[in-house]
Chain A
Amino acid sequence: MDLRRTFLIFVPFAWLLLLFLIPFGIVLKISLSDIALSIPPYTPQLDLSAGWSGIVEYFRALDLENYVFLTQDNLYFLAYMSSVQIAFISMVITLIVGYPIAYGMAKAPDHWRPTLMMLVILPFWTSFLIRVYAWMGILSQEGFLNQFLLWIGIIDTPLTILNTNWAVYIGIVYTYLPFMILPIYAALEKMDGSLMEAAEDLGCSQTSAFWLVTFPLSRPGVIAGCFLVFIPALGEVVIPSLLGGSQTLMIGKVLWEEFFSNRDWPVASAVAVILLLILVIPIVLFQRNEQKQREAGR
């Protein structure tokens, strides 16, 4: 057995075990527990001093009560559905905004590309939280956007954007745009320019050449970008709580409230477990897409 190779494989596995599987096990366990007025705020606690009977007792006390509760109060179902909807719409808007940017970058002269790439990545140099707060300043009733629109005279009364779903869409699209642009850019950039010429040579107009050749070839990038936006947007908590209003229902926010406001760790954990299960589907699809792309690239 190759020791070096074993070690190389062991490192990521150990990482996953330590930072994903074990924490997930703990969350799963808490989701099966009951709320209690104690520290930590749930029961049962594992009491090893009672020996074997303590362990048996401990496992006996675990149940699916919290999951049943999630199905009884339709707040959770609505929050999940609303999250999926917001994440999906944001993803589509991000794609519509991001594709032309990526296309422009890929078509730009070689010496411009590093600069353009920098500009896309530049926002990451500032804290995410500060950037979202900045949007509050832009979108509020007295914000820059309203002041500007009032000044040029398009509107008479300030628009209410902050604390609506619109603000959430703007926030998500703004935050996740680089994750859409970069994979699409990568796909477009490695495309052989003579393919477009070949399509034109064979009778395509420039528009049809784009839809018949360029777009299908950038599809892996589009799919990767969509997943990279959809997956984190689904569980987004900061943007909806800062920019969204009281009627903005997102599962991340619900989870936050259960955990910190209600101090109901078991229900919050159950929500988290369900969220993860919902995310597993797109993540698996994403992995399949990546793998297919790698095989095609060979």
Chain B
Amino acid sequence: MAQQQKKTVFEPWEDPSEKPIIRFKNVTKRFGDFTAIDNLTLDIYRREFFALLGPSGCGKTTLMRMLAGFETPTSGSILLDDKDIAAVPPNKREVNMMFQSYALFPHLTVYDNIAFGLRRSSMPKADIPGRVEQMLRLTQLTQFAKRKPHQISGGQRQRVALARSLAKAPKLLLLDEPLGALDKKLRNETQFELMDIQEKTGTTFVIVTHDQEEAMTVASRVAVMDQGRIVQVATPDRIYETPNSVYVADFIGDVNLITGKAYPGNGEQVEIHWGEAQAPIRANTSKSLAAGAEVKFAIRPEKIGIASEPPQDAANVVQGKVLDIAYLGNISTYHVELPSGDVLKAQATNSRRISRRNITWDDTVWLFWTDTAGIVLTE
């Protein structure tokens, strides 16, 4: 069974025989009048790297603190391995947390920080040094074991915090904005280290982040949250390619949103009428829509092509004028103003050197995309 699983893609959420390690059942959390978590139901599976993504104040941190035991749900239940953990205090849970501030004990050495949890556990004293050494090796901190937290760099501190929270081999590791304090380059490297360590230890990770790129990179599944609710739970590519709402489409990456009226055609085809004197957008959708229903058409800038000549046989073509070019090195984003006044963003990779490119400001250009490039959203 285990072997079979290895060969197939890791998708326990698709397998009905798989039991979730964490179950949120209709969990609500209120602070006074403020509802931080609103009737939330969610399953997280073993060995998952699960990301809670959302803007600050969306309730993702509250959700994590409930898992750690620092908050208790106002109503509903949280199950860890089918056992309700509401009454279990934080120090008795097989859950460890890596804090946003790292919360390293400043008066203890790196070694003692990592050993801190082990010394409070039932582990025999003689086994502790071995386990600490193992964690030090895993996080490449062996040479810093005797230093105090203020004597090492930010990236090293982050690794100490990770080693300390992993040392007790928890069933579930919670990471609260683990990379927030690192600079961008280090953050990117550390993301891959995190994934590596997660795979090596086989621990279930739940990460809280407001950085969508980070969530997309590390996570097996992402839950996008807004105002105490989960808007969508899916793999990073599903979240990006098929967002279920304007909120998700807008929150993840860059998107063009066009409001129009849908007129379903044959099968999954739909025509979206928008703006005056604009050809309707031809798109595909599996949603059943009433004729004339108001919809939003969402399309990612990189799915829109840009050309200085009218393209042949494209499903959708609009003409416009280049308003702005954002040069990002590897790609450029063109802001194109349509005759209607709408501005669409199109992205093109800069496979040619800048001097060879033929589109510049105020040029008349044609934007084009296929009928499957965008998606139709109703909420």
Contact = CB atoms under 8 A, between A and B. Distances in A.
Interface stretch (B102-110, B209-217, B297-305): B102-110
Contacts of B36: none
> In the complex, which of the residues A195, A203, A208 has the most CB atoms of chain B within 10 Å of its own CB atom?
A203
Contact of B91 (A200, A213, A217): A200
Interface stretch (B113-121, B223-231, B371-379): B113-121
Given A199-B105, A204-B91, 5 more contacts: A192-B103, A200-B91, A201-B165, A205-B91, A298-B150
Q: Is the interface of B mostly helix, strand, loop or mixed?
A: loop
Given A202-B120, A203-B120, A204-B120, A197 B105 contact: no
Interface string A196-220: 0111111111001000110011010
Interface residues on A, range: 20 to 34
A208 B120 contact: yes
A201 B68 contact: yes
Contacts of B70: 197
Given A194-B99, A197-B70, A202 B107 contact: no
B153 to A, nearest CB: 14
Interface residues on B, range: 20 to 34
24 contacts: A194-B99, A194-B100, A197-B70, A197-B90, A198-B97, A198-B99, A198-B103, A198-B105, A199-B116, A201-B69, A201-B91, A201-B95, A201-B165, A202-B91, A202-B116, A202-B120, A203-B91, A203-B120, A203-B121, A208-B120, A213-B105, A217-B106, A296-B148, A298-B150
A202 to B, nearest CB: 3
A212 B91 CA distance: 14
Contacts of B103: 192, 194-195, 197-198
Given A197-B90, A204-B91, A217-B106, A192 B120 contact: no
B335 interface: no
Nearest to A213: B105
A197 B105 CA distance: 11
Contacts of B107: 216-217, 219
Contacts of A213: 105
B168 interface: yes
Contacts of A296: 106, 148, 150
B101 A194 contact: yes
Interface in B107-149: 107, 116-117, 120-121, 148
A188 to B, nearest CB: 14
A219 B108 CA distance: 13
